[in-house]
Amino acid sequence: MNQFKVFNSLRVKLGIFAIVLIVIPVMVISFTYSRTVKEIIRNKYTETAIQSVFETGEKLNFILDDIQEFSTVITSNSELLDMLNHKSDFRADEYGRVLRNFILSRDDIEVIDLVLDGAYYSVGAKKINKLERIDQHLEKSLGQPLWLPTKSEEVEILSGKFKKNYFTLARKVIDFNTLEAYGYLLIDLEEVILEQAYAGLLDNEKVEVLICDDQGSIISHTDKSKIGASIIGEPYAAAVLADKDGHDYVQYESSIDKVAIYSTVENNGWKIIKTISTDYLYQELNEIQRYLNIAGIFYSLVIITYILFFSFRYTEPMMKMMNVIKKVEQGDLTARTEVQSNDEVGQLGHSLNNMIAEMQKLIDQLIREEQEKKEVELEALHAQINPHFLYNTLNTIKWMAKIQGNSGVSKAITALVKLLRISTNLGREMISLREEIDYVMNYIVIQKLRFNKAMNIVYNIDDSCMDLTVPKLILQPIVENSIIYGMEDEQHELNIEIRAHLEDQQLMIEILDDGPGIEDEILKNIFNNASNKSKFSKVGLNNVNQRIKLYCGSEYGLSIETEVGMGTKVLVNLPINAL
């Protein structure tokens, strides 16, 4: 039950609304960013990195093409070919002279070897232990350039010995006219040339760049100890080596998430590969995401703060109004809520205070009316002694008159007894219209004996109205008023008519007379004069009107239509209340 009440709280609902308002946009933004924006930006970043590696590959291709063209210049040199055609006529130093002319024209070439029948004619750096590099692939070649894997060789420079890594361009020397093979040309280049070509890719210490041949043997590497090793065991190797002439990237997981970006050198199918962690590759992207997360948290805090402020700002007056309503439920109509604003909540507070004040006013009015009713009943009880005494006395006189044979006196006393019987029956405030008409009839009997004058009364009552209930003693005072005013003109015969019918779900009773009418000044004050409660016998039109409103409601009562010299009509408007 308590949990149900908690979730019915407006503050809790506003809190849930705030969470939904924050969580849904943040989740949508995060999902969209992660699945769409981040993927687009990642592809752009990767494309940029691929383009950088590709351009490096193009640069390497230009270098290798240049060396190949230079080797073609050597193998097609006429002087060298003439010497090869007449090998026995030339000494080793003459071969060295020709080769030296070529090596002096290039700064990037370290050694040029000419291998003729197992003899080496070499210019350039002095190798201490010359390695055998004539393999079966070179022997079976038809003169096309072949790139040999990088080898570490010891060279002598001045008086010192140093190890250097060389990659080699090798090709058969062939006479293109006779297609006779003379030997082999070997051009050694220092591996540093390759390193300088991809130096622009080394933008972070965590970046690893290497060049390998189409078999996976490493030609150049940022870590020189790995030169000559193979990449076959690497997670990215299969995908990279399978792509014979393209460029792309492979995302893989080593100890951390990494990306291998590669490009193929068109000249010889070598692969230039750059490996880098995704954290570094997407460093700027992750930085953007971090800013977005901070912005999302800031947005959430702002919205939550605003909602909390809004909640307490607008629910606090409501909580106070609820406390006031609870006090009113417990009967405290003096409770009022404090109004501090002019907005809708403030207007609600004003309306609540006005409603409580109106309730207090209505309750006071009901209490006052109930007190007045009780006072009338008490007065009636006090006055009941005399009518009962008179009632018993008149009964005795009536039987004495009957015994003595005086029927007129007996008739008058009988009518008076009936009047007193109804008037003293204080246990019933509502009687039937039939009883009320009977009371009027008995009253008329007495008045005809009292006034020695012609007096006619007609009853036009619908049968459907006779059993409807009406407040007791409401018609007799009206008829009495007609008789009092009608008897002022002794020459005029008084005619009274009582009508009753149903109209618009109401009981309409009309009392008409042809008396002198009521002057405007008197008519104006009839309903303004308060009844004299100290005298129970004085019951006027105002008293009747007040009693009808008290018992039936304020919309019911009397209305008077009169014209001096033309008579008076009193209309009694009552609700339909069946017995």
Domain ranges of the chain: 50-281, 316-378, 428-575
> From CA 430, how far away is CA 437, in angstroms rounded?
13
- pLDDT for 385 equals 41
pLDDT at 458: 93
For the domain bounded by 428-575, which CATH number is listed?
Answer: 3.30.565.10
pLDDT digits (tens, 9 = 90+) for 133-144: 777 778 888 888
- For β-strands 455-461 and 494-503, DSSP reports them as parallel
User: Could you tell me the fold of the domain covering 50-281?
Assistant: Beta-Lactamase (3.30.450)
The whole-number pLDDT of residue 50 equals 87
What pLDDT is stored for residue 537 in this prediction?
33
Q: Given this model, what pLDDT does residue 468 score?
A: 92
Token pair for 376 = 């009338």
pLDDT at 550: 83
Query: Minimal CA–CA distance to 91: which of 116, 55, 73, 66?
Result: 116
Q: Which CATH number fits domain 316-378: 1.10.3710, 1.10.8, 2.60.40, 1.10.3470?
A: 1.10.8
Query: 380: how many CB neighbours lie within 10 A of its CB?
Result: 14
Amino acid identity for residue 153 in this structure: E
Report the pLDDT value the prediction gives residue 502, as an integer from 0 to 100: 93
Q: Which residue positions in the chain have pLDDT lower than 50? A: 1-4, 381-386, 388-389, 426, 530-539
Rounded Cα–Cα distance for residues 28 and 48 (Å): 28
Q: What is the pLDDT of residue 316?
A: 74
The tens digit of pLDDT for each residue in 494-510 reads: 899 999 999 988 999 99
Strand partners, 163: 154
Left (φ > 0), alpha (ψ -120 to 50) or beta: where does 45 sit?
Answer: alpha
pLDDT score for 38: 67
Q: What pLDDT does residue 119 have? A: 78
Q: So what's the pLDDT on residue 570?
A: 93
